[in-house]
């Protein structure tokens, strides 16, 4: 009796779950579409009436007695496994509350992509990058008029709607005083379908998707054409790099760079042949995206059989390149691309895509097997570069491309990025090497003389300590502990009495012959060394490559940034300064610092706001004996005290501070 009850329950459950003729083919939801009278779908423009049944993963059924269905796509419509567009009579949240409430949805066949993952992972990448709308990726098994059709992807139709392109949709018909500034959904469309115009400056074919071509009036047409023309004229102009006069005021940089990077990361050779962008109402800016139609991306099109080491702005198809290659000429754009790409790398976008691929591969494994039993895994559908006998090999190629191409892009974007201006010099607690831009040899001491010599890591005569002194810099050699000095005598000026060989002298922060301004030049990280006393520039004598060539006090004029004899690279060594050189460098939130000068044996504070240095400072021996006090705006000499460790204490802003230093 017990076994009969169990059997009865199983039979009842089976009869409920299969719902008669509707069953799940795999672990994926099943989508059943039956056209009225079994009519074939042969057109991309004319809809056919049909019935639709959706059975989810738990075998729950939702049925629509009447929908419409037609073909869709351009190249993809010519493949044997065809894509479709379905249209409900009323808006439906077909994919749940998190997706759009809309009539139109697409069924992507992904026929030219043997992994069937490229559109899905690109949408995920757009989400990772922060694009505001990324098409849905719900995989199903499709059964049409009783015939199994394969693995399909339910996705959004690209249109204006909440949770799609969420901008203002203009009313139809328009009121006489309607605001026609937006929204507009546009596409750079190489096929030039629908309501398409050619832009006036760069001859870019642009399709107006919304307002619909059956609803848009002449005034709206002219408005958006003019706005594109304004953008192109700003981009073409001689002031195009100007943040106000140029094109930047008319583009949203966030969506631009994220859309652009996703297109380049995916290596989509058609990404600039079909490019969506849009404009909202009462907003002059163009926004970029969504990402759409990426089944030939990631090196999956034999028209360009190797895109591993290529930028799509160089080798891809489409007229969006005309805009982007002009933007490449703007240092702001190339810096933006380089910075944002490295942010995505640091956040782990490669690992993220790997995880998505692995997750989807696992999800689709059973459906993939059925799909290729029907369509053949070695059957060429479009322009696939290679044909393998196993699905895993296609997935491996996809991952391999992401890995290698992402490495190429990092270097490619860095190469496009203009060199940053040489920064103002700010010394750190390291020894420095000062090398000539022409010979790459290092400045060093030879006795008291200052010469160049082959740059050798362990050569202490080539190490220099650079510290601030009286608003300038003092440069002290590590080996002889003497300061770089300009001994020029007599009347001096920037271009007079030049040619004296530099030497070193006993450090004296008051002597302006030992004080230098370190002046950045150009974009290559080079500096001039300008002597405060003589106003001359440190110059390699004759530009000679010979070891022992003297460094001269020389002409200071408009060739400072060009003459390699006057340009010096100042780079820290790997070795930090020991305490006897650094003294105390205790930076405070109030922007002041206590320092010990080991050459004058003085303690003193420095601050960008000297008026704040009004507190009293106490100096103790290590045993705790008070040996002296001073105000923070004064200097305190410990020259008369023994070489030892001392403690300095003070109170500022209600906080007591103390540090140790070694004399």
Q: Name every residue whose Cβ is closer than 8 Å to that of residue 396 and which is 6 or more positions away in sequence.
A: none
What is the maximum alpha-carbon separation in the chain? 122
| Cα dihedral 646→652→654→659 (10° resolution) | -20
Which range (15-19, 121-125, 181-185) has the least confidence? 15-19
pLDDT at 5: 36
Concatenate the DSSP letters of all residues of 584-620 into one string: -----TTSEEEEEETTTTEEEEEESSGGG--SEEEEE
Per the structure block, which two tokens stand in for 606? 């420095």
Buried b / exposed e over 15-50, threshold 16 CB at 10 Å, is: eeeeeeebebbbebbbbbbbbeeeeebeebeeebeb
Concatenate the DSSP letters of all residues of 338-362 into one string: HHHHHHHHHHTHHHHHHHHHHHHHH
Three-state secondary structure string covering 367-423: HHHHHHHHHCCCCCCCCCCCCCCCHHHHHHHHHHHHHHHHHHHHHHHHHHCCCCCCC
327-375 tens-digit pLDDT: 999 999 999 999 999 999 999 999 999 999 999 999 999 999 999 999 9
- Average pLDDT of the chain, as a whole number: 91
pLDDT at 589: 47
| Mean pLDDT of the region 376-403 | 97
Inter-CA distances, 660 with 430, 508, 587, Å: 20, 25, 14
| Mean pLDDT of the region 76-83 | 96
- Does the pLDDT value for residue 14 go beyond 60? no
31-61 tens-digit pLDDT: 999 999 999 999 999 999 999 999 999 999 9
Inter-CA distances, 16 with 64, 146, 162, 184, 339, Å: 19, 20, 36, 47, 56
Whether the CB-CB separation of 191 and 44 falls below 8 Å is answered with no
198-215 tens-digit pLDDT: 999 999 999 999 999 999
Whether the CB-CB separation of 99 and 163 falls below 8 Å is answered with yes
How far is it, in rounded angstroms, from Cα 367 to Cα 390?
14
| Mean pLDDT of the region 287-310 | 97
End-to-end CA distance of the chain: 99
* Residues paired with residue 519 on neighbouring β-strands, in sequence order: 528
How far is it, in rounded angstroms, from Cα 16 to Cα 544?
93
How far is it, in rounded angstroms, from Cα 171 to Cα 216?
10
pLDDT at 653: 66
Q: DSSP label at 77?
A: G
How far is it, in rounded angstroms, from Cα 478 to Cα 658?
29
Whether the CB-CB separation of 300 and 119 falls below 8 Å is answered with no
220-247 tens-digit pLDDT: 999 999 999 999 999 999 999 999 999 9
Share of the chain above pLDDT 70, in %: 94
Strands 602-607 and 636-637, bridge-based pairing: antiparallel
Ramachandran sector of residue 303 (left: φ over 0; alpha: ψ -120 to 50; beta: rest):
alpha
Is 0.75 topped by the overall pTM? no
- Does the pLDDT value for residue 152 go beyond 60? yes
Whether the CB-CB separation of 110 and 122 falls below 8 Å is answered with no
Whether the CB-CB separation of 452 and 547 falls below 8 Å is answered with yes
pLDDT band at 84; cut points 50, 70, 90: very high
- Does the pLDDT value for residue 16 go beyond 70? no
pLDDT at 389: 96
Strands 602-607 and 592-597, bridge-based pairing: antiparallel
| Mean pLDDT of the region 116-125 | 98
Residue closest to 556 by CA, chosen among 548, 566, 544: 566
How far is it, in rounded angstroms, from Cα 605 to Cα 589?
14
How far is it, in rounded angstroms, from Cα 642 to Cα 659?
18
How far is it, in rounded angstroms, from Cα 401 to Cα 375?
25
pLDDT at 585: 42
Which range (281-295, 302-316, 610-624) has the least confidence? 610-624
Whether the CB-CB separation of 232 and 246 falls below 8 Å is answered with no
pLDDT at 648: 87
Three-state secondary structure string covering 278-326: EECCCCCCEEECCCCCCCCCCCCCCCCCCCCCCCHHHHCCCCHHHHHHH
522-566 tens-digit pLDDT: 888 999 999 999 999 999 999 999 999 999 999 999 999 999 999
pLDDT at 20: 54
pLDDT at 644: 80
Share of the chain above pLDDT 90, in %: 79
Q: Name every residue whose Cβ is closer than 8 Å to that of residue 539 and which is 6 or more positions away in sequence.
A: 551, 552, 553, 554, 555, 563, 565, 566
Per the structure block, which two tokens stand in for 17? 């779950």
313-340 tens-digit pLDDT: 999 999 999 999 999 999 999 999 999 9
How far is it, in rounded angstroms, from Cα 153 to Cα 364?
11
| Mean pLDDT of the region 282-293 | 97
How far is it, in rounded angstroms, from Cα 163 to Cα 635?
67
pLDDT band at 257; cut points 50, 70, 90: very high
Angle between helices 253-266 and 391-416 (to 10 degrees): 130
* Residues paired with residue 180 on neighbouring β-strands, in sequence order: none
How far is it, in rounded angstroms, from Cα 536 to Cα 529?
8
pLDDT band at 11; cut points 50, 70, 90: very low
How far is it, in rounded angstroms, from Cα 620 to Cα 643?
13
Q: What are phi and psi of 373, to 5 degrees?
A: -65, -30
574-629 tens-digit pLDDT: 888 875 555 444 434 456 778 877 777 888 887 777 777 888 888 888 777 788 88
Q: Which ranges in 147-305 belong to alpha helices (H)?
A: 218-236, 253-266
């Amino acid at each position: 009796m017990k076994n009969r009850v169990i059997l009865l329950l199983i039979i009842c459950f089976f009869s409920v779950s299969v719902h008669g003729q509707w069953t799940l083919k795999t672990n994926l939801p099943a989508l059943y579409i039956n056209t009225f009278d079994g009519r074939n779908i042969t057109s991309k423009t004319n809809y056919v009436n049909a019935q639709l049944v959706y059975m989810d993963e738990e075998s729950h059924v939702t049925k629509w007695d009447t929908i419409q269905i037609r073909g869709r796509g351009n190249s993809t419509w010519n493949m044997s496994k065809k894509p479709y567009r379905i249209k409900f009579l009323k808006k439906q949240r077909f994919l749940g509350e998190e997706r759009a409430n809309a009539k139109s949805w697409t069924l992507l066949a992904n026929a030219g992509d043997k992994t069937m993952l490229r559109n899905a992972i690109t949408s995920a990448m757009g989400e990772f990058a922060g694009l505001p709308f990324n098409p849905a990726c719900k995989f199903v098994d499709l059964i049409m008029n009783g015939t199994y059709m394969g693995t399909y992807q339910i996705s959004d139709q690209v249109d204006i709607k909440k949770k799609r392109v969420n901008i203002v949709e203009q009313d139809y018909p328009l009121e006489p005083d309607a605001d026609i500034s937006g929204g507009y959904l546009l596409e750079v469309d190489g096929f030039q379908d629908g309501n398409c115009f050619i832009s006036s400056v760069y001859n870019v074919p642009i399709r107006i998707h919304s307002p619909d071509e059956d609803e848009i009036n002449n005034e709206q047409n002219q408005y958006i054409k003019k706005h594109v023309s304004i953008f192109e004229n700003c981009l073409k102009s001689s002031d195009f790099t100007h943040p106000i006069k140029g094109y930047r005021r008319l583009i949203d940089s966030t969506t631009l760079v994220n859309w652009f990077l996703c297109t380049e990361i995916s290596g989509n050779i058609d990404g600039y042949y079909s490019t969506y962008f849009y404009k909202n109402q009462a907003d002059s800016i163009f926004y970029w995206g969504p990402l759409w139609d990426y089944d030939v991306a990631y090196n999956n099109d034999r028209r360009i059989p190797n895109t591993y080491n290529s930028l799509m702005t160089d080798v891809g198809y489409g007229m969006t390149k005309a805009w982007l290659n002009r933007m490449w000429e703007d240092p702001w754009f190339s810096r933006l691309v380089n910075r944002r790409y490295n942010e995505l790398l640091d956040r782990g976008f490669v690992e993220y895509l790997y995880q998505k691929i692995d997750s989807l591969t696992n999800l689709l494994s059973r459906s993939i097997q059925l799909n290729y039993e029907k369509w053949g895994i070695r059957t060429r559908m479009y322009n696939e570069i290679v044909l393998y006998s196993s699905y895993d090999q296609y997935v491996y190629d996809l991952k391999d491309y992401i890995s290698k191409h992402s490495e190429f892009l990092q270097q490619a974007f860095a190469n496009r990025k203009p060199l940053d201006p040489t920064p103002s010099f700010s010394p750190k607690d390291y020894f420095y090497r000062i090398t000539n831009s022409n010979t790459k040899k290092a400045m060093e001491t030879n006795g008291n003389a200052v010469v160049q010599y082959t740059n050798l890591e362990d050569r202490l005569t080539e190490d220099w300590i650079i510290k601030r002194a009286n608003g300038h810099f003092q440069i002290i050699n590590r080996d002889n502990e003497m300061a770089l000095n300009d001994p020029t005598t007599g009347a001096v000026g920037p271009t007079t009495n030049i040619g004296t060989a530099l030497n070193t002298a006993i450090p004296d922060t008051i002597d302006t012959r030992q004080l230098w301004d370190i002046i950045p030049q150009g974009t290559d990280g080079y500096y001039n060394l300008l002597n405060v006393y003589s106003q001359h520039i440190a110059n390699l004598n004759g530009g000679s490559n010979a070891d022992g060539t003297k460094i001269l006090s020389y002409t200071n004029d408009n060739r400072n940034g060009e003459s390699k004899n006057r340009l010096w690279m100042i780079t820290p060594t790997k070795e930090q300064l020991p305490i006897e050189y650094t003294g105390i460098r205790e930076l405070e939130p109030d922007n002041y610092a206590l320092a010990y000068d080991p050459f004058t044996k003085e303690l003193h504070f420095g601050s960008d706001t000297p008026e704040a240095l009004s507190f009293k400072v106490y100096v103790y021996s290590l045993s705790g004996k008070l040996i002296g006090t001073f105000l923070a705006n004064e200097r305190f000499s410990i020259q008369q005290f023994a070489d030892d460790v001392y403690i300095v204490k003070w109170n500022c802003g209600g906080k007591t501070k103390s540090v140790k230093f070694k004399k």
